[in-house]
Amino acid sequence: MQRGCTVSISPGDEILISDGLSAHGLSKRFGDLVALDGLDLTVGRGQLVGFLGPNGAGKTTTMRAILGLTALDGGTISWDGAPMSVENRRDIGYMPQDRGLYPRMRVGEHIAYIGRLAGLSREGAADKARHWAERVGLGDRENDLIQELSTGNQQRVQLAVALVHEPTLLVLDEPFAGLDPVAVAMLSTVMAERVAGGASVVFSSHQLDLVQDLADELTIVSDGKTRVTGSTSELRRRSPTRLLRIEWDGPEPSWAPENATRLDAPPGVSVFRVPASSDSARLIAEAAREGTFASISYEPPGLEDVFLEIVAS
């Protein structure tokens, strides 16, 4: 279907037109092993999606399928509502989990080479290679052989390679793994800029603190299935538990609220996991009767707890 065309919909018709990437019902077996079992992933235009799941959940297999590197047994992958074409795939920047650079090529030459493969002119590729080498912090290493670079710097090259043709869709498989804090900040900024420019970005990561700060939307998968999608704050709010944290000003009472689990905390601080249905005002009033506190908070758990609750269920 063309974008912008007129369609007539009869009652009962199911119709899904979305801008950006839509992977629906993906299935893939490797022999007896079911790697993908009806997995769904949507990444809208201008959206930054964190793709999370335990080891072996199917993230890399999904990303490889989006790139057309893994043949699926079932499901559909579309871009702007139409099946993803060879042309669309040239407009993807991919950072594979198993990094794949040519060790005997030079940094600038390598980035430009991938730019050429993606359809840039010779001059265009050389310009963009210089720009992106600079941007990933390797402006002074353009003439070095890839094999002479540290692992983290090779990863910066891998990022420049994914970005050289400034693609509409970025698929980044654990892009933060092994990067130093300066490179993490650089990559976060680059991702945010691409998204602000209208690109779609999906990245996998096990660094949930980073994901929590960065991603607009999360898709959490396990056993080849999509478990939940939503913003970090939505998923945190949907948690069946809340954390009550009290910093006491004076002696710490032995008190614990009803149905609470006490969590490890520094001296003078009590942290309880309580059901989300708890009456927060009542808990605060009870705490105030038991002792004097300097601060008290009642919040949904962090993304790490949410992740563990979801993948364990």
Ligand X SMILES: Nc1ncnc2c1ncn2[C@@H]1O[C@H](COP(=O)(O)OP(=O)(O)OP(=O)(O)O)[C@@H](O)[C@H]1O
Interface residues with ligand X (CB under 6 A) are 30, 33, 35, 53, 55-61, 97
Closest to ligand X by CB, 58 vs 115, is: 58
Which parts of 51-110 interact with Mg ion (CB under 5 A)? Answer: 59-60, 97
**How far is Cα 301 from Cα 238, in angstroms, rounded to an integer?**
10
Burial of residue 242 (number of CB atoms within 10 Å: 0-12, 13-18, 19+): buried
For the bound state, the minimum distance from the C-beta of residue 122 to Mg ion, rounded and expressed in Å, comes to: 35
For the bound state, the minimum distance from the C-beta of residue 220 to Mg ion, rounded and expressed in Å, comes to: 14
Consecutive H or E run containing 25: strand 21-30
Closest to ligand X by CB, 118 vs 172, is: 172
Closest to ligand X by CB, 31 vs 266, is: 31
**How far is Cα 258 from Cα 275, in angstroms, rounded to an integer?**
10
For the bound state, the minimum distance from the C-beta of residue 95 to ligand X, rounded and expressed in Å, comes to: 13
Closest to ligand X by CB, 35 vs 202, is: 35
- Number of residues interacting with Mg ion: please give it, by CB under 5 A: 3
Closest to Mg ion by CB, 56 vs 240, is: 56
- The closest alpha carbon to 298, from 233, 246, 234, 240, belongs to 246
DSSP state of 58: S
61 binds, among ligand X, Mg ion, none (CB under 5 to 8 A by kind): ligand X
For the bound state, the minimum distance from the C-beta of residue 58 to Mg ion, rounded and expressed in Å, comes to: 8
**How far is Cα 82 from Cα 19, in angstroms, rounded to an integer?**
10
Which parts of 218-237 interact with Mg ion (CB under 5 A)? Answer: none
Per the CB < 8 A criterion, the answer to whether 59 and 240 are in contact is: no
For the bound state, the minimum distance from the C-beta of residue 60 to Mg ion, rounded and expressed in Å, comes to: 3
**How far is Cα 52 from Cα 66, in angstroms, rounded to an integer?**
16
